[in-house]
Amino acid sequence: MDANQPIGVFDSGLGGISVLREITALLPGEDYIYYGDSANAPYGVRPTEEIRQLTTVVFEKLIAQGVKAIVIACNTASSAAGEFLRGKYPQMPIVAIEPAVKPAVLSKKGGTVLVLATAATLREHKFRHLLEIYKGQAEIIDFACPEIVEAVEHGDIRSAGLRKSLEERFALVKGKGVNRIVLGCTHYPFVRKMIQEIAGSDVMIFDGAPGTARQLVRQLTERNLLRGDSRKGSIVWQNSSVDPALLALSKRLFSLRE
């Protein structure tokens, strides 16, 4: 690996752009290839073996372009294929996101932690293991919200329809004492403001993207792969879908600041 090579970041679609924003804030001088597998989105409804096959295809595409590290900016792919991919590509620095259950549980005593994620993330061993570790320290409720993924993939992140759908979902946990929410899918930070408004200003929201960005910095530092100059880096946008609107939407989501 060479420090001047780009960093690959990928997601099942556009959700991983929320992670890319955190990474570029810490490492603005690096070059990036963002790959969204929108043609096969959503991953959250697919079986584990299929997710592993899809992510292997994406890894091969990124490796062929000479990346020095790969960030799995997708909780579903991380849960279903993270360890599989590390075993398949042992020489490649791989950073995989995971739901921020630990900081949410440890942030305060009492109340309930609501983990929002895809059905695939919630069923995988990686997430169930997190629950096993922290279940004695807090009440944890896992909750699938598939409509958010579809909304983000279509750029529909502020609609009345989405708000109504989320209000109906959150009504199901009313009275459960929820005072912390974990955004366990990288699409969800794009509707963080709406979630906060529905949940209430006293509810704390946690996102795994900042920790993922810090872990990438650690891995690159340990391997002497950080760029040492002060140049401004670049982003190459790639997607498995041929929809021409996705490029503009990707850039809009990247620049979005709520």
Residues marked active site are found at: 74, 185
Closest CA to 146 of 6, 45, 22, 232: 45
Joined tokens for residue 119: 């059905």
Amino acid at 127: F
Three-state secondary structure readout of the chain: CCCCCCEEEEECCCCCHHHHHHHHHHCCCCCEEEEECHHHCCHHHCCHHHHHHHHHHHHHHHHHCCCCEEEECCHHHHHHHHHHHHHHCCCCCEEECCCCHHHHHHCCCCCEEEEEECHHHHHCHHHHHHHHHHCCCCEEEEEECHHHHHHHHCCCCCCHHHHHHHHHHHHCCCCCCEEEEEECCCCHHHHHHHHHHHHCCCCEEEECHHHHHHHHHHHHHHCCCCCCCCCCCCEEEEECCCCCHHHHHHHHHHHCCC
